[in-house]
Structure 1
Amino acid sequence: MAGLVKVACVVVMCVALVGAPLAEAITCGLVTSNLAPCLAYIQTGAPPSPGCCNGIRSIIQAASTTADKQTVCNCLKSSAGQAPGYNDRNARAIPGACGINVPYFSTSTNCARIRF
């Protein structure tokens, strides 16, 4: 019985470690993968999917420092040029359509001026 309790404790600790979020640096890959569900909205103005809005929320939560926010901004700007059918007006409207306040969803944003 004592052995079973020890095994159960080890399993619980492993699950807790695997489930614990790790501090992760913001990368353009992370930004683009989280925002990929927003591409239809950016191209056509179709209502944003829940995946799009959740992706934006995830990026906002992950970008906790000024440097992180500037990275997100720069990634958005560089990704915009690669997105087929990119519409900057639609891109700027995504946060509002999702009920989220994010001031840097535009290719005209000066990312170096972002301070939080």
Structure 2
Amino acid sequence: MAGTLAKLSCVLVMCMVVAEAAMTCNQIQGGMAPCLGYLTKGGTPTTGCCTNLRNMVNSATSTVDRQNACKCLKAAAAKFQTINPDNAAKLPSYCNVNIPYKISTNTNCDSVK
């Protein structure tokens, strides 16, 4: 169950997040596991959540990498409904991470640059 929720949280968060091409979907999703509590219940994201989010954003190497990460996470999020979309949208702001597009399952990953 926790792995499933982690995948969902990653989808919502990581639709806006980038990752290295060498990272697998499982690695991307696992990296966002510390955000799960915040994404489902609100409150304040953990330091580990924000650190992992920042690291993933900073690891972007190309448009293709960002689009693939978005697609991977979006697909995982589609399987779960426990993530609060408002919490996901606010995560970059809480973590002081600049993500130039809206965190949402409705994001068109092909438009991510």
Does the pair score TM above 0.5? yes
Contact 1:43-1:86 at 8 Å conserved across structures: yes
Runs of 4+ off more than 2 Å: 81-84
Which amino acid is the alignment partner of residue 74 of structure 1? Answer: K
Aligned counterpart, 2:111: 113
Aligned residue pairs: how many?
A: 93
> In the alignment, does 2:75 pair up with 1:93?
no
Q: 2:56 aligns with which of 56, 59, 79?
A: 59
Which structure is higher in helix share? 1
Aligned counterpart, 2:66: 69
> In the alignment, does 2:34 pair up with 1:37?
yes
Q: 1:28 aligns with which of 25, 34, 48?
A: 25
The gaps in structure 1 that reach 5 residues or longer are 1-22
| Aligned-residue CA RMSD (Å) | 1.8
Which amino acid is the alignment partner of residue 78 of structure 1? Answer: A
* Higher RCO structure (Cα 8 Å, ≥6 apart): 2
SS of 1:106's partner is coil
Structure of greater Rg: 1
The gaps in structure 2 that reach 5 residues or longer are 1-19
Identity %: 37
Stretch of structure 1 that moved more, 64-73 or 79-88? 79-88
Instruction: Compute the displacement of 1:76 (Å).
Output: 2.2
Give distance in 2, aligned partners of 1:87 and 1:39. Answer: 10
TM-score between the two structures when normalised by the length of structure 1: 0.71
Give distance in 2, aligned partners of 1:63 and 1:57. Answer: 11
